[in-house]
A = this chain, B = another copy of it.
Amino acid sequence: MLLDADIHQRWSDDKAIVKYLPERYQDDGIVAPELLYRNPGGFLKQDEIPKNGGKPGSDIEKIVEDHLDRHDIDYGMFTGNSWFNLAALPNRDYANELARAYNEWLIEECLTVDERFLGSMYVAPKAPQKGAKLIREYGSHPQIRQVMLPGGAEVPYGRPQYWPLYEAAEEMNLAVAIHPFSEGHGTSNPPTGAGHPNSYIEWHTLLGTYYMGQLASIVTEGVLVEYPNLRFGFIEGGYGWLPHFMWRLDKNWKGLRSQAPWLEEKPSHYIRKNVWFASQPVEEPEKPEYHDQILEMMHADETLIFASDYPHWDGDDPMWGLPPMDEEMERAIKFENAMELWDLPANPSELN
């Protein structure tokens, strides 16, 4: 079996979304902050341009044929187009309505195409109460298995203001996924403490740092003590940094646990139990054995899931994306771990 945690489908025309917006937001098209770091060659694989000439990812049938069928993928998780950047929009109500419109479009026009598709529903991080309502409204759709949050935000995701989202996600048995794109623009913070990087090469190299900030917050603020069944997916932020991060956080907890007295176990316990990391962009170390060593250090047999990032040109092909590894480890990464993250039946037809 093979599960792909990160497939970017998109609408070919903003009208596809605008029609689901309330009338008060229909007149201007969509206004959302865009990433200001230019990716040379654009983000998209040019060999995935649909026959009608739209952008790669905008023809859902083509995704079925070129990706699911070609690679024998059992489940493919739609992650949408993170350019929505709902965390970086100043207007909470508008962001919430964009999230709702996306969810409608996802259910009506994407998930219907093939039962192997799973959906990530969007919420606006600045409107957690409204987001919790959306989760309870759309979260019972059998193919919707997670709630999507953008990687960068005004304040870290461990803060109590977000907890209504987590309460609703746990109640609806949905994972919460984090995906990059909102870092460093709109109302978001500079990507690191160093300030705004100059170019996309820096911005993308630093993906892991945005995730380390969010994960430190989620774990130390006690989110996973309060919601022990909540599952997080960290998508497209890498994983080679995770051993260092878990060691450092565990070590600091030994000396500083008075700052997080609500933690009943060492921090890495919660990460290994409740958090998964997507493989793309795969680590490409100097020597192949380093990859195996990193997998062991991070307990990848429990924590890593495969993702392709289709149809982005820097994505990892399901055939060649992962380096050769132990068979048991490969099985865990290619489907067992994702089955747990999304609580899936072995056969898509059993989803209900």
Contacts and interface: CB of A to CB of B under 8 A. Distances in A.
A61 interface: no
Interface stretch (A116-124, A154-162, A165-173, A344-352): A154-162
Interface string A201-241: 11011101110111011001100000000000000001011
User: What is the count of identical protomers in the complex?
Assistant: 2
Nearest to A210: B193
A256 interface: yes
A249 B238 CA distance: 12
A263 B274 CA distance: 41
A129 interface: no
B191 A193 contact: yes
Nearest to A196: B155
B220 A199 contact: yes
A153 interface: yes
B199 A213 contact: no
Nearest to A191: B193
A290 B294 CA distance: 9
A255 interface: yes
A38 to B, nearest CB: 8
Interface stretch (A19-27, A62-70, A280-288): A280-288
Given A192-B193, A198-B221, A212 B209 contact: yes
Contacts of A151: 193-194
Contact of A290 (B152, B156, B293): B293
Interface stretch (A2-10, A45-53, A94-102, A182-190): A182-190
Given A190-B189, A285-B243, A314-B255, A197 B209 contact: no
Contacts of A286: 247, 297
Interface string A253-264: 101111110000
A252 interface: yes
Contacts of A244: 208, 238, 240-241, 244, 283, 294
B201 A193 contact: no
A153 B191 CA distance: 13
Given A40-B259, A194-B216, 18 more contacts: A40-B258, A151-B194, A152-B194, A155-B195, A159-B198, A189-B190, A190-B190, A194-B214, A197-B220, A198-B220, A201-B260, A205-B249, A205-B252, A208-B212, A241-B241, A247-B285, A248-B281, A251-B284
Interface of A: 39-40, 151-159, 183-184, 188-202, 204-206, 208-210, 212-214, 216-217, 220-221, 238, 240-241, 243-245, 247-253, 255-260, 281, 283-286, 290, 293-294, 297, 313-314
